[in-house]
Amino acid sequence: MPHPTPWRTELQAILRGIAGGFLFGIPLLYTVEVWAIGSATDPRWLLVVLGLTLLVVWLLTQVEGFRQTLALRPLEAILETIEAVGIGVLCAALALLLLRRITLATPLPEATGKLVFESVPFSLGVALARSTFQTKRSRDRRTTAPLSRRLTSPTLAKVRDTLVDLDATLIGAVLIGLSIAPTEEVPLVAASLPPLWLLLVMAASLVLSYTIVFASGFTDRTERLQRGLLLSPPTETLVAYVVALAVSAIMLVMFQQLSPSDPWQEWLSDILVLGLPASIGGAAGRILI
């Protein structure tokens, strides 16, 4: 194989990032609620969303990323985060222009609002590009050089493996939840449920999550049990469900479906209703990623 020049390698990395961005960004691009939410959002909130995107992409870059590099220094993780979000914003802008959701006549605040919200899935897609387009399903995860050398003891390596499992839950929950959180269906379903029905939704979420990961034989369970600290399957299912609920709450707040002035009953039912698809996504994430 000829030696690729740095420019060619970088171009490939960027194209990989763009491909990943479009793969994950497209569902939210065709969601009318996102355009409306984007147009109507306060600029301060847009900055919060942008900051949150940078934070999540930075977390993803620790283990994923769009370049092939497998060992990363902390500063490089920050640089790659900025690059990934930059590519995400660029892709989202091109897609919005292509579908004429942003035209020359669109007022500036509306355009920036749409762009910031649509950039979220695009940026996540860029940050996941390497593992998305990897042909071999090996476990060559990226390692970020620890800030201190003490952080490399065996116990902490186990904690790290557990975090990788949680990270997979997080990614799966975000990817499935992100295209559902802004829709009107969430409050609609939540409002129509009788109070005790929420327990049924919780039970269904747990059972489905458990089934996908442990009971279906999709994955080598012994290998999973040896790796990481995640204890027994029921405990892992519960922890993953809590993660899925937290992700649901954050996404609902981000898309302004929930605000502090809403009654707590609405918070509870909306989060649990979105928690169902999020926990299924989380379970799928743990076996696929």
Partner 1 sequence: MGIDNPPPNSSQASTTGQPQRSMAEWVTFIGATVILLTLVGVIIYDWQVNQDRPPAFNVVVAESIRITDGRYYVPFVITNTGGRIANGVQVIAELDIPGQGEETGEQQIDFLSGHEQKEGSFVFNHDPHRGDLVVRVASYRLP
Residues in a beta bridge with 71: 143
Residue 180 near partner 1 by CB under 8 A: no
| Backbone φ/ψ region at 72: left (φ over 0), alpha (ψ -120 to 50), beta | beta
Strand 71-72 to 143-144 pairing: parallel
Options 59, 145, 225, 246; binder of partner 1; rule CB under 8 A: 145
Contact (CB, 8 A) for 260 and 232: no
Options 18, 28, 85, 213; binder of partner 1; rule CB under 8 A: 85
Contact characters 10-29, partner 1, x per CB under 8 A: xx-xx---------------
We find the least distance from the C-beta atom of residue 71 to partner 1, in angstroms, to be: 5
We find the least distance from the C-beta atom of residue 66 to partner 1, in angstroms, to be: 10
Type of residue numbered 224:
R
Residue 50 near partner 1 by CB under 8 A: yes
What is the distance in angstroms between the CA of the first residue and the CA of the last residue of the chain?
29
Span near partner 1 by CB under 8 A; candidates 81-89, 205-213, 219-227, 277-285: 81-89
Which token pair is 32?
Answer: 């009318």
Q: If DSSP codes are grouped into helix, strand and coil, which group holds residue 225?
A: helix
CA–CA separation, 152 and 143 (whole Å) = 11
Q: Where are the beta strands (DSSP E) in the chain?
A: 71-72, 143-144
Query: Where would I find the H helices in 30-135?
Result: 32-39, 43-63, 74-98, 108-127, 129-132
We find the least distance from the C-beta atom of residue 256 to partner 1, in angstroms, to be: 9
Q: Which of residues 88-117 bind partner 1 (CB under 8 A)?
A: 89-90, 105-110, 112, 115-116
Residue 6 near partner 1 by CB under 8 A: yes
The contacts found for 211-219 with CB under 8 angstroms, 24 or more apart, are 212/280, 212/283, 212/284, 212/287, 213/237, 213/240, 213/283, 213/286, 213/287, 218/287, 219/287
CA–CA separation, 206 and 204 (whole Å) = 5
Span near partner 1 by CB under 8 A; candidates 43-51, 181-189, 227-235, 265-273: 43-51
Residue 165 near partner 1 by CB under 8 A: no
Residue 166 near partner 1 by CB under 8 A: no
CA–CA separation, 239 and 30 (whole Å) = 32
Span near partner 1 by CB under 8 A; candidates 79-87, 164-172, 191-199, 271-279: 79-87
We find the least distance from the C-beta atom of residue 185 to partner 1, in angstroms, to be: 18
Residue 183 near partner 1 by CB under 8 A: no
Nearer to partner 1, 17 or 285 (CB): 17
Residues lying near partner 1 in the complex (CB under 8 A): 6-7, 9-11, 13-14, 36, 39-40, 42-44, 46-47, 50, 67, 69, 71, 73, 76, 79, 82-87, 89-90, 105-110, 112, 115-116, 143, 145-146, 148-150, 152
